[in-house]
Amino acid sequence: MKKVIKRKVILFSLPFLLLLLPILAFFALFVGSSDSSTNADVNTNTPQQQTAKVIWDRVLKEGGTKEGAAALLGNNQAESELQPSIIQSNATYN
């Protein structure tokens, strides 16, 4: 009885598998091999990164851990986008 059910399940799912194989082959050959490299220069010295460096160095200097510094940076990124002049709801601090 179990062999009959197993055979029916295999025969039922076989057409779906046969349809799925060419689709997977297409994605593997054409979509997955696209070249997305670029020669664009990226400026990584922004005011936010300078602020992050100051926070990172200060936390470690005061005896904090790398995890603690990362937590502070994550919170400041979410709260003020690492911009010291923003206090809440993008309001500026005078």
Residue 90: pLDDT above 70? Answer: no
Reduce the DSSP state of residue 92 to 3 states and report it.
Answer: strand
Residue 46 tokens read as 């922004």
On average, the pLDDT of the chain sits at 81
pLDDT score for 40: 61
Give dist(CA 24, CA 36) in Å, integer.
21
What would the pLDDT profile of 30-67 be if each residue is shown by its tens digit?
Answer: 776 556 666 666 566 788 888 889 999 999 999 999 99
Region of poorest pLDDT, from 5-19, 34-48, 55-69, 70-84: 34-48
* Percent with pLDDT over 70 in the chain: 79
Give dist(CA 90, CA 58) in Å, integer.
25
Give the residue carrying structure tokens 């926070």.
55
